[in-house]
Amino acid sequence: MTNKAIIVEKLSKTFNGFKAVDEISFEVGRGEIFGFLGANGAGKTTAMKMLCGLSMPSSGKATVAGFDIYQENESIKKNIGYMSQKFSLYEDLTIRENIRFYAGIYGIRPDIIKTKTVQLLTQLSLEKEADQLVGQLPLGWKQKLAFSVAIFHDPQIVFLDEPTGGVDPITRRDFWNMIYDATAKGITVFVTTHYMDEAEYCDRVSIMVDGQIDALDTPGNLKRLYQAESMDQVFLQIARKAKRTE
Amino acid sequence: MNPLKYILEKEFKQIFRDPAIIRVIFILPIIQLIILPMAADYEIKNINISIVDRDHSTTSNRLIHKITSSNYFKLVDYSGDFNQAMTGIDNDKADLIIELPRGFEADLYARKEAKLFLAVNAINGVKANLGATYLRTIIQNYNNDFRIALLTPGRFNELPVIETTSSNWYNPRMNYKFFMVPGILVLLITMIGLNLSAINIVREKEIGTIEQINVTPIKKFHFILGKLIPFWILGLIVITIGLFIAWLFYGIIPLGAYFTIYVFAAVYLLVILGMGLLISTYAENQQQAMLISFFLLMIFVLMGGLYTNIDSMPEWAQWVTKFNPVAYFIEVMRRVVLKGSGLSDIKQPLLIMLIFAIVINYWAVISYRKRS
């Protein structure tokens, strides 16, 4: 066991000659909140999918939670949580049924599922809505629920792909409080976002441009380096260099 | 096996919450099995006949009476003018013209033979052919009657007549419904099974939940099985409804055992559902999945031996039907329902279906990729 949750070395993904991800290398420490920024089409989601075992890398090396992404793909899956850009709970199932299903396929014991579901519903103050179909919930609640389901099996690392897209500022604030609670439990958070205020909440951020990582440091250091007042300005300076469009 | 339990629980909840699926499963078979067999009739009735009678004799009258009272023909025109009758064919009002020439009766008595003329509108080939055949049979019967009436008792018949009498085994009354209903039931469960399973995984791709499933440590085999079992049970329910309707509306009770039908159906459904899931793993969206399954269904139905006769197909086409699961089930269904075949009689098709089921489902598990 190293103290690194994720180690990536020259990881690439090529689609028909197009280098979506071009030899990226970085490390993420345990318990860290790692912000993975970049403009649309920079290759963030592709890189994240390779780490989650959804996409086969073209070349390079990486370990996630200490497991090799080529050989131990299924072991990685036991140890990570993932929340995709697309809302991924079943809208035709109730809140309780969604929790039960995902917990069940992670192989959690039924008695533990029961007690943890009660805890979770209280924590989210969704006790009354527990038997409502998820499709009827407002978006903010859905996202919070999706996050809670993604970390229900206590993974070592959780991958969040634009978790707060389209959500109001108050809910975003709540959401980030949930992320902090997760790190307090020792979960490493790997998050992509387009909100630069959220980038400031991260321990370290990387900024991807045209499939490569152009900058990687703490938000404070990056602001000093680019002589910017906010992450917003840092991002604009770096992302404008992009040559390829979506 | 534990994760499988949760997948099954989820699939069943989703199926029973979807009103469209419930309708497809319960109402569709009822309506189809009641309406289709009534309409899909091999016998041809209401053939429009136009009669040109230039003879106006007792003999011609009797013949015409025989034709019109046969139930197969509808007299649309009766005249003494062939051109008028021909206009009827041009306008598609008549399918057949029979012309009885002047002197028909006189020739028959004097020269012991008479000619009549038959014209057939062959736009609808089946109708024209069958119509002409029916008409020939009627005329022949009439001919025999006429001959017997002419014979003086005690004398030997100078022209021996060979008559064929046939007896229909296994479906003694040649009731086409006994033949159609079991076949339509096969098509029905094929259609429902293939379509429902084909759009299932694709739907999860479209709404994005498949990604969430793919990042879990779930086994591919569990996932496919979790999709297969609910539809398999539904398929067996549809067959049960279908067999019940066959009994209730058509009085069809299989001569063989229901058990035999269920054993074959259980394996057959694995083949069909496996195909659906296979389509589902390859298709990007529901439209693609529907198109592919529709294409397959078309071939399965038209080469299945229900609407077309496999034995009269060219040899290469007969080979194609060897890969058509529908053809096997229709054949087995008929054998069990009409002939009373048991498990040992259908061993071979059952074995073939089993091989199909294993190959296709194995293929489906392999082609379902958690990582692209």
| Domain CATH for B71 | 3.40.1710.10
Handedness of CA B32, B33, B35, B41 (dihedral sign): positive
The answer to whether residue B158 sits within a structural domain is: no
> Are B191 and B92 part of one and the same domain?
no
Q: Is B61 in the same domain as B99? A: yes
Report CA-CA distances (Å) from A95 to A80, A164, B184, B372.
21, 19, 42, 30
Contact state of A92 with B215 under an 8 Å Cβ cutoff:
no
Q: Of B2, B7, B14, which is closest to A93 when you measure between CB atoms? A: B14
In a domain, B167, yes or no: no
Say which of B14, B17, B215 has its CB closest to residue A80.
B215
CA distance A76 to chain B (A): 8
Query: Which of B96, B115, B150 corresponds to the end of one domain?
Result: B150
**Mean pLDDT (whole number) for B306-316:** 85
- Mean pLDDT, rounded, for B11-18: 92
Per DSSP, helices labelled H in chain B are 2-17, 19-22, 28-39, 58-68, 82-90, 104-110, 125-150, 176-207, 209-214, 220-250, 258-282, 286-302, 315-321, 325-334, 347-367
Residue A104 to residue B5, Cβ atoms within 8 A: yes
pLDDT band at B180; cut points 50, 70, 90: confident
Residue B28 domain-assigned (yes or no):
yes
CA distance A31 to chain B (A): 21
In a domain, B324, yes or no: yes
- Is the pLDDT assigned to residue B113 strictly greater than 70? yes
B164 in a structural domain: no
More confident residue, A163 or B36: A163
Q: Which of A92-96, B3-7, B54-58, B283-287 has the lowest mean pLDDT?
A: B54-58
Task: Give CA B105 to chain center in angstroms.
Answer: 45
A contacts of B9 (beta carbons < 8 Å)? 100-101, 104
Q: Is residue B192 located within the same domain as residue B146?
A: no
Average of pLDDT values for B167-178?
68
Q: Residue A41: pLDDT above 90?
A: no
ipTM for the assembly:
0.89
| Domain shared by B108 and B135, yes or no | yes
Element (H, E) at A150: helix A139-150
**Nearest beta carbon to residue B371 from set A53, A97, A102:** A53
Identify whether residues B252 and B362 lie together within a single domain.
yes
Q: φ and ψ at B344, to 5 degrees? A: -70, -25
- pLDDT, position B43: 67
For chain B, the domain total comes to 2
Q: For A69-80, what is each residue's pLDDT tens digit?
A: 999 988 999 999
Are B207 and B346 members of one domain?
yes
Q: B228 and B136, same structural domain?
A: no
User: Using the beta-carbon criterion (under 8 Å), do A84 and B211 form an inter-chain contact?
Assistant: yes
At B86 the pLDDT is 85
pLDDT band at B156 (very low <50, low <70, confident <90, very high): low
pLDDT in tens, A231-246: 999 999 888 877 765 5
What are B62-71's pLDDT values in tens digits? 888 888 887 7
**For residue B111, what are the domain limits?**
47-150
In a domain, B93, yes or no: yes
Among chain A, residues having any CB pair with chain B shorter than 8 Å are: 52-56, 73-75, 77-78, 80-82, 84, 86-93, 97, 100-102, 104-107
Does one domain contain both B115 and B183? no
- pLDDT mean across residues, chain B: 86
Q: Do B202 and B347 share a domain, yes or no?
A: yes
> What pLDDT score was predicted for residue B142?
82
Q: Is residue B1 part of a domain?
A: no
Domain boundary among B150, B167, B197: B150
Q: Which one of B200, B220, B371 would you mutate to disrupt binding with A, by most A Cβ within 10 Å of its Cβ?
A: B371
pLDDT range class, residue B173, cuts 50, 70, 90: low
Type of residue at B128: A
Residue range A199-211, pLDDT digits in tens: 999 999 999 999 9
pTM for the predicted model, two decimal places: 0.81
The tokens describing A34, both together, are: 């790692």
Same domain for B84 and B134, yes or no, is: yes
**Contact residues on chain B for A105, CB-CB shorter than 8 A:** 3, 6-7, 213, 216-218
Q: Which of A75, A92, A105 sits opposite B6 (nearest CB)?
A: A105
pLDDT digits (tens, 9 = 90+) for A157-209: 999 999 988 888 999 999 999 999 999 999 999 999 988 889 999 999 999 99
Task: Give the burial class of A165: count Cβ atoms within 10 A of its Cβ; 0-12 exposed, 13-18 middle, 19 or more buried.
Answer: middle
- Inter-chain residue contact A90 with B10, CB threshold 8 Å: yes
Residues B213 and B342 in one domain: yes
Within a domain: residue B296? yes
Residue B194 confidence (pLDDT) above 60 = yes
Query: A86 vs B18: CB contact, 8 Å cut-off?
Result: no
Provide φ and ψ at A229, rounded to 5°: -85, -30
B361 shares its domain with B247: yes
